[in-house]
């Protein structure tokens, strides 16, 4: 079994602006590359799980989300950082019910099964309680951070 760092997107990977969907508004947080490289050196897979309910609300298109994820992937690849997967929920409870939207744990469970992840050696880093709750429902330790803060602040919690 392997271990993983699961990350929320907005507020953890990039600056939280509320419904970030335009490339010009997608700002990768400082220190992200350095911290992700440290996680990789420690043997962790990197996975993103994000709620993107603006799609269900009609605020932006799924293709815009895909464009941001491709940009992020390209930027990280330049630094030898690779995400095993980027899962995102397109639903919103005002529009439809689903089991993939955090705090539900479907995407965490899918990642565990797909990548043979040991939940007891893995972490879910998020800026909202629903992020850590999703991880903990699947046996993954949650780490709650302040939105838009440096991930360097939690390096000591990750063996």
Could you give the CA distance from residue 25 to residue 36 in angstroms, rounded to a whole number? 21
The answer to whether 136 and 18 are in contact (CB under 8 A) is: no
Active centre residues (catalytic): 8, 10
Would you call the peptide bond into 103 cis, given omega within 30 degrees of 0 as the criterion? yes
Domain that holds residue 23: 3-157
The answer to whether 145 and 126 are in contact (CB under 8 A) is: yes
| pLDDT tens-digit profile, the chain (159 residues) | 899 999 999 999 999 989 999 999 999 999 999 999 999 999 999 999 999 988 888 888 899 999 999 999 999 999 999 999 999 999 887 777 888 999 999 999 999 999 999 999 999 999 999 999 999 999 999 999 999 999 999 999 999
Say what angle helices 129-137 and 106-115 make with each other, to 10 degrees.
50
Q: How many domains does the chain have?
A: 1
Neighbour order of strands in the sheet with 44-51: 85-89, 44-51, 3-7, 123-126, 141-144
What's the Cα-to-Cα distance from 156 to each of 30, 90, 152, 153, rounded to whole Å? 18, 33, 8, 8
Residue 92 is predicted with a pLDDT of 85
Cut 0.85: pTM above it: yes
Q: Where residue 31 sits, what CATH number does that domain have?
A: 3.40.50.1000
């Amino acid at each position: 079994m392997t271990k993983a760092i699961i990350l929320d997107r907005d507020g953890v990977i990039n600056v939280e602006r509320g419904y970030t969907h335009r490339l010009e508004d997608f700002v990768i947080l400082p220190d992200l590359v350095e911290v992700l490289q440290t996680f990789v050196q420690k043997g962790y897979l990197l996975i993103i799980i994000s709620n993107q309910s603006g799609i269900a609300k009609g605020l932006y298109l799924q293709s815009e989300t895909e464009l941001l994820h491709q940009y992020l992937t390209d930027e990280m690849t330049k630094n030898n950082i690779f995400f095993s997967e980027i899962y995102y929920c397109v639903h919103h409870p005002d529009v439809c019910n689903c089991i993939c939207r955090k705090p539900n744990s479907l995407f965490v469970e899918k990642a565990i099964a797909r990548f043979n992840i040991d939940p007891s050696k893995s972490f879910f880093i998020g800026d909202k309680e629903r992020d850590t709750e999703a991880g903990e429902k699947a046996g993954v330790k949650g780490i709650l951070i302040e939105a838009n803060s440096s991930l360097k602040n939690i390096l000591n919690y990750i063996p």
